[in-house]
Amino acid sequence: MQNLTVALALPRQAFPFIPTGLPITVWEFREESILAKDTDADARSTLLSRALADCAAGNQAGVDAILESEGRQLLGVAQRILARRDLAEEALQDAMLQVWRKAKQFNASSGSARGWIYAILRNRCLNILRGDKRLSTLAPADLATLQESRQQIVPEEGWEILAGPSRIRDCLGGLDSQSRHAILLAHVAGYSHAEISTRQDVPLGTIKSLIRRGLQALKECLS
Amino acid sequence: MTDLSAEIIALSDEYVLGLLTPTEAALVEEIMARDIELAQRVGDLRDRLLPLDLSAAPVDLPEGFGVQVAEQLANKDQLPKMQFAGVPTEKPANQPAAPKPWLAGMLAASLAGIAVGFGVAWMQPAPAPKVVAVLMDAQGVPQAVVDDYGNDTATVRFVADVPVPADRSLQVWTLPSADMGPTSLGVLTGAGAAQLSFDDLPDPSAEQLYEVTLEPLGGSPTGRPTGPIIGKGFAAEQT
C-alpha cells in the first residue's frame, strides 16, 4: 500500500513524458497489479501455458486466449517502446505470428509463459527500431516526433512508477542512479548501448561495463 | 551441463535487456537451445524484470484485431518451415560461401571477448586467438566456432547440436591459400569442444575460410572435403 501512495503522490509535473492529450491509465494499472495476487498469477500462468500448448498443436484458440488475456498489456508495451500506434499494432501482430510459430520451443522449466511472450514482443519492437528498414518508411517529421517521444519514456525522476509495487523496484532503488537509468532505458525504452551512451554522454565502453555491473548487483538483490 | 563462463552469462543478461546485436542474440539462442542452465537463467531474469513491462499503460486492441491476426496466421502458415538448425545440409563441400559471409565476420568480431574461457578449462591460462571464425549452416545459424591461435594450434567448439552418425566423423578444414587448397585441421568423432594441432600451416589471416564437414569414419579418404558442410565461415582478426 505504501508503494501505491508514493506513486500517486508524485506531482503531475514529475511525469512530463505523459502527453497531455492521451488518457492516463496509470490508475487502472495500479488497481490491477495490486489485485494480482498469487492465485490470480497462478491462474494466468496456467491459462498462458495452455494457450501456448494450443498454439504448438496448431490450434488458433491459443492465439485468441493470449490476446484476450494479455493483448491490451502487450499493445501497451509496444506503444510505449515504439511511441506510435500503427507501429505498435504491427509489432504485436508480428509477435503473435512468432508466438504461433515458436510455441513448440517454449519450455516451462525455463521461465514463465508470460515472460516468454513479452520477450518475443519486445524483440519484435527492437527489430522495428533497429534491425529492419521499417523506420525509414516514415516521413522525417514523423521520425523526429517518434524519437522525441522515446526520449521521454524513462524520466530522470519518478522512475519508480516504471517498476510498480514489486521487488524489482526495491532492488533498482539500491543501484546508483546512472546504472539504474541505463538499465531502464534499455529494458523499458528499448535503447541500444550506443543510444544510452549518447543520452548519458558517457563513452560506450563505460556504459557497457556500467550496465554489466548494475545487472550483476540487480540479480544478486533479486535472488 | 556446461560450465558457463562469466562472459556468456553476462551476454545472456544483456540478451534479456535487448542490448545484443542480432548476431550475438542468435548465438545466445543457440547456446540456450542446448544448455538448459543458460535457458533457465534467461527465463529467470525475464520473469524478474516482467513488472517493468506490466507498468506500461494498457492500450485497447483495435476492433477486429484478433481476426486480422488469425488471417495472417492462416496465410503465413503456408510458408515452408525453417530447416532445423542441427540438420546437416546436403550441399557439396566445394560450393561457394554461406549466404551471409559478412554475418559470420561480424559475429566473430563481436565474439572477441567470448573466445576465451568458454567452459574449456584446459585452455587456462587462455592465450588470445589470432582469428575467430563462426561457422554457420546454409540458413546462417551458427554451428561451431573455431579459434585459431597460429603456431599450428586451434580449438573448435560447437554451439548447436550436430548429429554425427556412428559411421561418420566430423572434419575441420581451412583454406590457407588458393594454392594450398583446403587443408585438414583435424578429425573429430563427435560435436564436442576439441583442441586441434596440425603441421606447418602459415599463421591464419583475416577472411581465411574455415569449415566443418561430415566425412567417412576416420576422415576424408581423399585429403579434401567430400561430405556435406556442417558449417562454414570466414575468420575475423582479433586485435
Identify the CATH number of the domain in which residue B163 sits.
2.60.40
- Within 10 Å of residue A139's Cβ, how many Cβ atoms? 8
Would you state the pLDDT for residue B122? Answer: 38
Substitution target in B9, B30, B53, B103 with the highest count of A β-carbons within 10 Å is B53
Q: Are A29 and B55 in contact (CB under 8 A)?
A: yes
**Same-domain status, B115 and B65:** no
Mutate to test the interface with A, among B19, B82, B83 (most CBs of A within 10 A): B19
B138 in a structural domain: yes
Least confident of A15-19, A61-65, A162-166: A15-19
Measure CA of the first residue to CA of the last residue in chain B; give whole Å. Answer: 31
Supply the pLDDT for residue B127: 61
Choice between A100 and A38, residue whose per-residue pLDDT is larger: A100
Between A136 and A94, residue with greater pLDDT: A94
- Classify residue B179: in a domain, yes or no: yes
Instruction: Quote the number of domains for chain A.
Output: 2
Across A133-157, average pLDDT:
81
Decide if A197 is inside a domain: yes
Cβ A101 vs Cβ A76: under 8 Å: no
Q: Which residue has the higher pLDDT, A22 or A142?
A: A142
Sheet order of strands, B153-158 included: B183-188, B168-175, B209-216, B229-237, B131-136, B142-150, B153-158, B194-197
Select from A151, A173, A208 the last residue of a domain.
A151
Q: How far is B60 from chain A (nearest CA, A)?
A: 5
Nearest CA in chain B to A194: B19
Which of these three, A131, A151, A171, is where a domain ends? A151
Environment class of B119 (CB within 10 Å of its CB; exposed 0-12, middle 13-18, buried 19+): middle
Residue A92 within a domain:
yes
Average pLDDT, chain B: 78
A48: which 3 cell numbers?
498462458
Statement to judge: residues B65 and B109 lie in one domain:
no
The total of structural domains in chain B comes to 2
Using the 3D structure, point to which of B10, B44, B79 is the last residue of a domain: B79
Residue A94 DSSP SS3: helix
Same domain, B180 and B120: yes
Q: What is the CATH number of the domain that holds A77?
A: 1.10.1740.10
In order of A74, B30, B40, the CA distances from B35 in angstroms are 29, 9, 9
Which residue among B49, B59, B65 places its CB closest to the CB of A76? B59
pLDDT, tens digit (0-9, with 9 covering 90-100), for A19-56: 444 444 444 444 444 444 567 777 888 899 999 999 99
Q: Is the pLDDT of residue A95 over 90?
A: yes
Contacts of A109 in chain B (CB under 8 A): 36, 40
Nearest C-alpha neighbor of B5 from the set B136, B132, B115: B115
The pLDDT value given to residue A197: 93
Q: Choose the closest CB to B55 out of A67, A161, A183.
A: A161
Residue B106 has pLDDT above 60, yes or no: no
Minimum CA–CA partner of B80 in chain A: A101
State the CB neighbour count (10 A cutoff) for residue A111.
Answer: 23
Taking CA atoms, A35 is separated from A31, A66, B38, in Å, by 6, 20, 33
Q: A173 and A63, same structural domain?
A: no
- Phi first, then psi, for residue A169 (nearest 5°) are -65, -45
Same domain, B59 and B114: no
Q: Do B109 and B9 share a structural domain?
A: no
Which among A122, A163, A192 is the nearest to B55, CB-wise?
Answer: A163
Domain of B141 in residue numbering reads as 101-237
CB A157 within 8 A of CB A204: no
Bond into B125 cis (ω within 30): yes
Q: Residue A117: is its pLDDT beyond 60?
A: yes
Of B79, B114, B130, the residue at which a domain comes to its end is B79
pLDDT band at B76 (very low <50, low <70, confident <90, very high): low
What does the pLDDT look like over B117-135, one tens digit per residue? 343 333 333 467 788 888 8
Q: What is the pLDDT of residue B110?
A: 53
Say if B113 is an interface residue toward chain A (CB within 8 Å).
no
CATH code, domain carrying B61: 1.10.10.1320
> Least CB-CB distance to B51: which of A110, A164, A219?
A164
The rounded Cα B209 to chain-centroid distance in angstroms is: 15
The DSSP secondary-structure symbol of A13 reads G
B213 and B114 inside one domain: yes
In contact, A184 and A216? CB cutoff 8 Å: no
Is B94 a domain residue? no
Per-residue b or e along A92-101, where b marks 16 or more CB atoms closer than 10 Å to that residue's CB: bbbbbbebbb
pLDDT above 70 (res A1): no
In a domain, B90, yes or no: no
Highest mean pLDDT: which of A20-24, A93-97, B154-158? Answer: A93-97
Tell me what pLDDT residue B2 has: 45
The better pLDDT of the pair A75, B114 is held by A75
Of A129, A151, A173, the position where a domain reaches its end is A151
**Same-domain pairing of B158 and B221:** yes
Share of chain A above pLDDT 90, in %: 55
Q: CB neighbours of B196 closer than 8 A, spacing ≥ 6?
A: B153, B154, B155, B156, B172, B185, B186
Determine the structural domain holding residue A159 and report its residue range.
152-223
Distances (CA, A) of A173 to A146, A166, A183, B39: 29, 11, 12, 27
Q: Reduced to 3 states, what is the DSSP secondary structure of residue A84?
A: coil
A93 and A143 share one domain? yes
Answer yes or no: is B16 within a domain: yes
Cell of B235: 575468420
At B79 the three-state DSSP class reads coil
Residue A84 sits in the same domain as residue A180: no
pLDDT beyond 60 at B26: yes
Tell whether B93 is covered by a domain: no
Q: Are residues B29 and B119 in the same domain?
A: no
Q: Are residues A124 and A27 in the same domain?
A: yes
Question: Would you say residue A8 lies in a domain?
Answer: no
As a whole-number percent, the residues of chain B with pLDDT over 90 amount to 33
pLDDT at position B147, please?
A: 87
**A vs B: CB pairs below 8 A:** 160
